[in-house]
Amino acid sequence: MATVPSDDVPELARGIHDMGGLPGGAVDRHEHAVTLWEKRVDALLVLLTRKGVFSVDELRNAIERLGAEAYTSLSYYERWTASIAWNLMQRGVIQADELGKRMAEIEAEGRQ
Amino acid sequence: MTASRFRAGDPVRVRRAFPPGHIRTPIYIRGASGVIERDCGDCINAEERAFGRPGLPGLPLYRVRFRQHEIWPDYAGPAGDSIEIELYANWLEPA
- Inter-residue contact B36 to B62 (CB < 8 Å): yes
Q: Could you give the C-alpha distances from B35 to A9, A106, A110, in angstroms and in order?
A: 23, 54, 57
In a domain, B4, yes or no: no
State residue A32's pLDDT score. Answer: 86
Q: What is the CATH number of the domain that holds B18?
A: 2.30.30.50
Q: Which of B23, B52, B72 sits opposite A2 (nearest CB)?
A: B72
Q: Report whether the peptide linkage leading into residue B57 is cis, meaning its omega lies within 30 degrees of zero.
A: yes
Q: Report CA torsion sign: B80, B86, B87, B88.
A: positive
State residue A2's pLDDT score. Answer: 46
Report chain A's mean pLDDT, rounded to a whole number. Answer: 90
ipTM: 0.87
B18 CB neighbours in chain A (<8 A) are: 9-10, 13
In a domain, B80, yes or no: yes
B32 CB neighbours in chain A (<8 A) are: 3-4
The parent domain of residue B31 ranges over 10-94
Is pLDDT at A70 greater than 80 in this prediction? yes
Ordered by start, the domain boundaries in chain A are: 33-109
Count: domains in chain B: 1
State the alpha helices, DSSP H only, in chain A. 36-50, 56-64, 68-73, 76-90, 96-109
For every residue of chain B, DSSP letters joined together read: -------TT-EEEE-----SS---S-GGGTT-EEEEEEEEEEE--HHHHTTTS---S-EEEEEEEEEHHHH-TT--S-TT-EEEEEEEGGGEEE-
pTM of the model: 0.87
- Inter-residue contact B74 to B46 (CB < 8 Å): no
Angstroms from B44 CA to nearest CA on chain A: 10
- In this structure, which topology does domain A33-109 adopt according to CATH? Cyclin A; domain 1 (1.10.472)
What's the whole-number mean pLDDT along residues A39-60? 97
What's the whole-number mean pLDDT along residues B36-51? 96
Band of pLDDT at residue A6, cut at 50, 70 and 90: low
Q: Alpha-carbon distance B67 to B37, whole Å? A: 12
Report chain B's mean pLDDT, rounded to a whole number. Answer: 94
Residue pLDDT, tens place only, B3-40: 559 999 999 999 999 999 999 999 999 999 999 999 99
**Between chains, do B50 and A14 touch, taking CB under 8 Å as contact?**
no
| Chain A contact probe: residue of B13, B28, B61, B86 with most A CBs at under 10 A | B28
What's the whole-number mean pLDDT along residues B59-76? 95
Angstroms from A79 CA to nearest CA on chain B: 16
Tell me, yes or no, if B22 comes closer than 8 A to chain A by beta carbon: yes
State residue A10's pLDDT score. Answer: 78
In a domain, B5, yes or no: no
What's the whole-number mean pLDDT along residues B49-78? 95
Least confident window among A27-31, A93-97, B32-36, B63-67: A27-31
State residue B1's pLDDT score. Answer: 47
